Amino acid sequence: MAPARNHRALILLLLLLLLLAFATPALAQCESDTVDRKCHDKEKSLKLKIIAICSILFASAVGVCLPLLSRLVPVLHPNGNLFLLVKAFASGVILATGYMHVLPDSFNDLTSPCLPENPWKKFPFTTFVAMLSAVVTLMVDSLAMSWYKKRVRGDKVLTVRSDRVEKQSGDMENFGHDQSNKGHWESEQESESLMRHRVTAQVLELGIVVHSVVIGLAMGASDNFCTIRPLIAALCFHQLFEGMGLGGCILQSEYKLKMKATMVFLFASTTPFGIALGIALSNVYSETSPTALIVVGILNACSAGLLNYMALVDLLASDFMGPKLQGSMKLQMRAYVAVLLGAGGMSLMAKWA
């Protein structure tokens, strides 16, 4: 329960930071002389935003729920090859989201001409924050596993090991006890793997939620219908396959129904919620105000570092270094193709989103 409470507290903190950024007075904004006013119409934009809320909510819900329903379809069982390939594709989407969408957005924000040259153009804040975010994600990953081993396993591991040493010096009558200890040890290994899947799912969702709220707010506050129209299709594609990646992690975490429903709801609703909040704040929000640029830029950099770490280490490396892919070169090459297709498709979306 503690990780779940921390998860919600971090999301609330994120929303407070964004409200601070978007409640910036209009006098602090920095307007560009190159804005094309032909594409700015609040009434047309509002209609498109309402369409975006509905379509993105539907795409997000479908994407994150598909893996959770895969147990009902034998060919999509979590232990099957097809599920592994779909997960590899979705991991490629998440990887490209970090590198091709979130990181460039942070660069644009933190190097904007609306910010003072010193210090924002004197130091690469985007890559520095992304690097720190990746290290902090590693720390969370590592400390969560250490806490689990200390609090849950504790002396059980030492007991199992000492019993196994004693049994080695015994006779054949202890064979049954050795088999029992072996089963207990395997159970401990499975429990540790389950804990790792749960940490991965929660940390990954946190990174996705940060990015989703930020991009939703930006869309909701914009009145540029020329930008919003293609962005709707791009975000639907993005949320669908990113949801599949997260849904696969939630499935492997084997949470109870209540926790699964909470994580599905958070993922599916954050972008539509961000759009609705952006619409509500559109009169006081300026995407070119220094405060908004700094807060959004730093949050995007944090999200990029987190997503890149999770995609490479906890999703791709975990699967590709696992026994299933290591035992089949043919399956491994298919998984690489799936990763490249997912990353390539999401990279192509960077042209519109």
**pLDDT grade, residue 159 (50/70/90)?**
very low
Listed range (39-43, 127-131, 311-315) with the worst mean pLDDT:
39-43
Q: What pLDDT score was predicted for residue 264? A: 93
Mean pLDDT (whole number) for 171-190: 52
For 247, phi then psi, to 5°, come to -60, -40
Reported as a pLDDT band with limits 50, 70 and 90, residue 10 is low
- 12-18: long-range contacts (C-beta < 8 A, 24 or more apart)? 14/209, 14/210, 14/213, 14/299, 15/213, 17/295, 17/299, 18/213, 18/214, 18/217, 18/277, 18/295, 18/296, 18/299
The whole-number pLDDT of residue 131 equals: 95
Q: How far apart are CA 267 and CA 207, in angstroms?
A: 11
Percent of residues in the chain assigned helix, strand, coil, to nearest 5: 85, 0, 15
d(CA 54, CA 88): 28
**Rounded Cα gap, residues 138 and 92, in angstroms:** 20
pLDDT tens, residue by residue, 73-94: 776 677 778 888 988 998 999 8
Beta bridge partners of 56: none
Chain segment 252-298, per-residue pLDDT in tens: 888 888 999 999 999 999 999 989 988 888 777 677 788 888 888 88
How does pLDDT run across 17-61, given as a tens digit for each residue? Answer: 555 555 544 444 565 544 456 777 888 889 999 999 999 999 999
Would you state the pLDDT for residue 162? 47
